[in-house]
Structure 1
Amino acid sequence: MDSNYTIIIADDHPLFRNALFQSVHMAISGANLIEADSLDGLLNVLCKEPDPDLLLLDLKMPGTNGLSGLIQLRAEYPDLPIVVISASEEPSVVTQVKSHGAFGFIPKSSDMRELVKALNQVLSGEPFFPEGLIYHEFGSDLTDKISALTPQQYKVLAMLSDGLLNKQIAYELNVSEATIKAHMTAIFRKLNVKNRTQAVILLQQLEYEYS
């Protein structure tokens, strides 16, 4: 396949990122490849490249651990095709990735031929999920709750998890403290919790499920 595709590779392991880089070059001659090794780095890339053709996303890298990064990216960039590449290959993980809007899932154990096949398939507009995996039909109530948050609410929750106070979050997001309190009220309602500690615990549970 020969094209001017712009593809972002987001993975914090240099060796695997390099292998993936080579696989993409084999599959798509002339593609514009951009690398990121953290969620913050990826968000910076997306600010500069708002309309890439494909994002290859590792589930675990600095700034994200598990589905939380996928949920945030899906909320902020609903039209971006995201293919998750992960060493967590359990059917339950693949099911959750699929249910939260990923366009595909490529196991890190895939050999070069499988990677090239998967990349060609997704760039031709067809989702790619591993053959032979039995998908569970029921999603996680926890991930459904987290995915109900707006992108701004998710940012507030993530900052809560980092230990920031309302005043600090308001400063970081350049909004009033009253706005943050309103976000907190909405977050507590959507997550069905009573306080910030319970909300943070829920987010940590989601990340633990896929660690």
Structure 2
Amino acid sequence: MSQAATIIIADDHPLFRGALKQALTQSAGGTEIVEAGDFEEARKAARMHGEADLMLLDLTMPGGSGLTGLMMIRAEFQNIPVAVITASDDQATIRRAIELGASAFIPKSSGIEEIRTAISTVLEGGLWFPPGFDAGREHDPEIETLIGRLKTLTPQQTRVLGMIGEGLLNKQIAYELGVSEATIKAHVSAILLKLDVDSRTQAVIQMAKIGTAISA
């Protein structure tokens, strides 16, 4: 890693953030590191640094709900590439993260040089996966179908789905997104149709399956 960049490190372990920050700033002079200790802090950091070059996202941070957190970040901040960096490194989790828009998947067991290589690859516009990763098909047909349905949602619909999952009402979502309540109702109808469910509750249950899929 040689180029300077703005990188958001979103991880709830201060020691890990500190070690990663030190390694990255030593390898590229002028690199700006922004730290976040939970999912909401990660969102705030992304809003404040909309031109960030990369977010390193831990899937098990408080408030992140596993792969659902990745899906929400990708929907809300489409211009910021996301590299998942987590202790969960099974093939299914890696595959699902890639399907949901991760530019890299970096196991925390990786050595620092490997982490630097992964980050450099993403900063140069590439994708990086752990050595030996098999990009085969999803082994759980239900999750495979669900991910396929979720990928048909527009970024705004994904954000609306996330807010529904947070328990917000249509009028609250409309206020947060700066649109009319009628627009949100239209989004909700489209979400239910695309997910093949009949209610907001069922949609939240489907989304939760992605959040818990990290342990599958």
- Normalising by the smaller structure, the TM-score range is 0.7 to 0.9
Partner residue, 2:173: 169
User: How far apart are 1:193 and its partner, in Å?
Assistant: 0.2
1:194 match: secondary structure: coil
* Inter-CA distance 31–140: structure 2 relative to 1 (3 Å threshold): same
Provide, for residues 40-64 of structure 1, a one-character-per-residue CA deviation record: whole Å limited to 9, x for no partner: 2222222222222222111122332
Unmatched segments (≥5 aa) in structure 2? none
The residue type equivalent to 1:137 in the other structure is R
Residue in structure 1 matching 2:151, options 147, 150, 159: 147
User: More displaced, 127-136 or 175-184?
Assistant: 175-184
TM-score (ref. length: structure 1): 0.87
The residue type equivalent to 1:73 in the other structure is I
Provide, for residues 57-99 of structure 1, a one-character-per-residue CA deviation record: whole Å limited to 9, x for no partner: 1112233222222223323333432211011101111112222
The residue type equivalent to 1:34 in the other structure is V
8 Å CA contact 2:50–2:80 kept in 1: the answer is no
* Inter-CA distance 50–167: structure 2 relative to 1 (3 Å threshold): closer
* Inter-CA distance 205–25: structure 2 relative to 1 (3 Å threshold): same
8 Å CA contact 1:92–1:136 kept in 2: the answer is no
Partner residue, 1:159: 163
Question: How many residue pairs are counted as aligned between the two chains?
Answer: 211
* Inter-CA distance 178–95: structure 2 relative to 1 (3 Å threshold): same
The residue type equivalent to 2:212 in the other structure is Y
The residue type equivalent to 1:149 in the other structure is L
User: How far apart are 1:198 and its partner, in Å?
Assistant: 0.7
CA distance in 1, matches of 2:164, 2:190: 14
Partner residue, 1:179: 183
User: How far apart are 1:140 and its partner, in Å?
Assistant: 1.8
Provide, for residues 128-168 of structure 1, a one-character-per-residue CA deviation record: whole Å limited to 9, x for no partner: 21111222234722122223222332232222222333343
Partner residue, 2:214: 210
* Inter-CA distance 120–177: structure 2 relative to 1 (3 Å threshold): closer
Could you say what the CA RMSD is over the residues aligned between the two structures, in angstroms? 2.2
CA distance in 1, matches of 2:77, 2:176: 21
* Inter-CA distance 28–160: structure 2 relative to 1 (3 Å threshold): same
CA distance in 2, matches of 1:101, 1:42: 17
Aligned positions of 1:6-25 closer than 5 A: 6-25=6-25
User: More displaced, 45-54 or 139-148?
Assistant: 139-148
* Inter-CA distance 44–184: structure 2 relative to 1 (3 Å threshold): same
Partner residue, 1:133: 133
Aligned positions of 1:85-164 closer than 5 A: 85-138=85-138, 140-164=144-168
1:73 match: secondary structure: helix
2:136 match: secondary structure: coil
* Inter-CA distance 38–133: structure 2 relative to 1 (3 Å threshold): same
Partner residue, 2:30: 30
TM-score (ref. length: structure 2): 0.85
CA distance in 2, matches of 1:147, 1:104: 18
1:210 match: secondary structure: helix
* Inter-CA distance 27–127: structure 2 relative to 1 (3 Å threshold): farther
